[in-house]
Structure 1
């Protein structure tokens, strides 16, 4: 009995450590990425090509991360990997301050920062898998909900942190603050004697039902939508003579919309009527588009439009995760997600090219892509697919 209590206490301590480290990391990473985006945008007055190049290159690490994680997992567990990756971000934060006046240096820093962030997302999932091993499904769902809520809150606060501190501190001062924050997280989550790595098991990929295009295409569009949004937002802010504060606010409310729809999904139990749920998401996307197009250039109105768009986009992401998790094994999900991420890079290149060609209306593409994604999910095949879980063992996200 005492041994069981000790195990429970250790698991609780590990969970608290995970929540703290993952939340604070996302707070400072959100501040770092928005500061890099803003600094790159202001390198060439009136020139948006460096920003487009930075956003496109930020998705290149998606091809490198899986092989790197697989190799490192032979020697380290998720918590140890997370510590080293956060330490890498601490160094990159310093480099961003040193190279703040050099476009090439900022582009390279941005590329490696995204490599660390994508690797961290994988290592944090490994760490979470260690913590929840042996717990009942209900408790795992509650823990997963808590991590999602705290992480989204941190990602929303990060841009505001940058907006508040960058005008006060000089370029290097802000970089030192970020580096110190990352170093603190790395030191806290580092351990030499943590839980052993999860036992690797072979899971057979079942092919009972092919993934419909109406679901796969929205999966491909997730990262391009985020990339198109990250490009159009600073372009819009700069073209209207606004500053970093407005950029931080608009970026934050988009994330707030994604967090809000997550709460509503849990409260309303929307799985009972997927057609109504997806139709509601399309309505939100259309309302957001019309508001952005027709309303005056007022910060409050634009923020409300992006809040609604964030709800539509976040709702689509929730539906995609549920649809694939309830139908395929973990190995099959990983296969489809990796294929979608690989195709996302050329799609993003096409979208950024279109945005550069129609720079005055660059905002339109992310709005239209969110609407298209939800419309595809509403197709009968995707809706029926999500309702009926197969005999394949479902994996909790």
Structure 2
């Protein structure tokens, strides 16, 4: 397979687009979940329904990605999906006072977001082609740091703008941001897609289950977190400000671990790195369980949890990007998203059954993910001794 040189300019475009997209998507998502919750005060079923339905599009995503990857690169798909978010952000402003309208809008927003996550991973895979794995890990850390910083600011943006803008005004701000990203993706000349990668879409080499299961758990963890956090804030009589702060520090934790990955040479110390993530997950769970219910202590616990979760996502992205073609990565990510939907249904059902302890499940799932990745790191695959892509489909 030929290698495509990835320039600093292309990486800068990728960083900008992925960061700004996540800034405005974070604001859009938290505004949708908070509005749905407040319209049904005391009834958590609509919120649970909204979060579960958000993951139904995961069944459609694999087919979309597989079909589109025959004709488009990850960058081109990203432009198309962000353009769709531009329109959906506008629709969210008009449906602000209608729960059914918000639920339907939320459904399509998540369809675009899941498709975008797959296309961005494809774009990243294309950019890193031919690089050393340690360098790829640092680039992944940089993208994680900037993206999570954006997701951290997004909820605060919503908390700051929603009280002073009308529903239409807030949606116009979001649409402008999405349109900017879509335009830059569309007008830039990306790296060409090697047509010789296409046969790998049909039958890519298999991932180890200890790596694939954490991939499947990424969205259920986020869904469980998105459910438990508004419930916790509402139960304690807090406001959108506290929700924005707690959501933001979780993202800050993921950004912080990205910075640490850039600084540290984690490519040569995977066992130490993943053992540290396991320790962070255990510490955050213990803190949330035993510490008093103050904003500072809960925020500190979520900061640590965000570091563990973000570190796991960095490792997963590098492990697949260094061994699979762009199209195969998109297919695996979309398949993991599809399997995440029934998993999320089970998790949300459990959270509704133990509503007072709904916080427990996202903490335990993060811990399980990093433990599985630690197991994977002991194998030849995780250490990068045998590039899977070279083995053929």
Asked if TM exceeds 0.5, the reply is yes
Higher RCO (Cα < 8 Å, 6 or more apart):
2
Aligned with 2:343 (options 342, 347, 354)? 347
Aligned to 1:229: 225
CA distance in 1 between counterparts of 2:42 and 2:158 reads 22
Cα distance, 1:61 vs structure 2: 1.8
Moved more, 95-104 or 365-374: 365-374
Change in CA separation of 1:71 and 1:218 when aligned onto 2, cut-off 3 Å:
closer
CA distance in 2 between counterparts of 1:369 and 1:363 reads 11
CA contact (8 A) 1:285 1:308 kept: yes
Aligned to 1:121: 117
Cα distance, 1:389 vs structure 2: 2.4
Aligned to 2:146: 150
CA contact (8 A) 2:282 2:367 kept: yes
Within-5 A mapping of 1:104-183: 104-128=100-124, 143-183=139-179
CA contact (8 A) 2:142 2:259 kept: no
Aligned with 1:198 (options 185, 190, 193)? 193
Q: Secondary structure at the match of 1:290?
A: helix
Change in CA separation of 1:122 and 1:336 when aligned onto 2, cut-off 3 Å:
closer
Within-5 A mapping of 1:367-382: 367-379=363-375
Counterpart check, 1:98 vs 2:94: yes
1:77-133 deviation per Cα after TM superposition (whole angstroms, max 9, x unaligned)? 444433332222121111111111111110110011111122223334455566666
Counterpart check, 1:48 vs 2:35: no
Aligned to 1:364: 360
Cα distance, 1:139 vs structure 2: 7.0
CA contact (8 A) 1:219 1:340 kept: yes
1:310-353 deviation per Cα after TM superposition (whole angstroms, max 9, x unaligned)? 11222233334445556667777666545433322111100100
Q: Structure 2 stretches of 5 or more lacking a match?
A: none
Change in CA separation of 1:134 and 1:159 when aligned onto 2, cut-off 3 Å:
same
Cα distance, 1:305 vs structure 2: 0.4
1:5-58 deviation per Cα after TM superposition (whole angstroms, max 9, x unaligned)? xxx9x9655544443333222211111111111111112110111111111111
CA contact (8 A) 2:228 2:358 kept: yes
CA distance in 1 between counterparts of 2:315 and 2:11 reads 27
Moved more, 46-55 or 340-349: 340-349
Root-mean-square deviation (Å): 3.2
CA distance in 2 between counterparts of 1:335 and 1:128 reads 14
Counterpart check, 1:384 vs 2:379: yes
User: Larger C-alpha radius of gyration, 1 or 2?
Assistant: 1
CA distance in 1 between counterparts of 2:136 and 2:275 reads 30
For normalisation by structure 1, the TM-score amounts to 0.84
CA distance in 2 between counterparts of 1:235 and 1:14 reads 41
CA distance in 2 between counterparts of 1:25 and 1:335 reads 22
CA contact (8 A) 1:76 1:197 kept: no
For normalisation by structure 2, the TM-score amounts to 0.85
Counterpart check, 1:262 vs 2:242: no
Moved more, 14-23 or 288-297: 14-23
Cα distance, 1:223 vs structure 2: 1.6
Name the count of aligned residue pairs: 383
Q: Secondary structure at the match of 1:387?
A: coil
CA contact (8 A) 1:328 1:390 kept: no
CA distance in 2 between counterparts of 1:185 and 1:43 reads 31
Q: Secondary structure at the match of 1:169?
A: coil
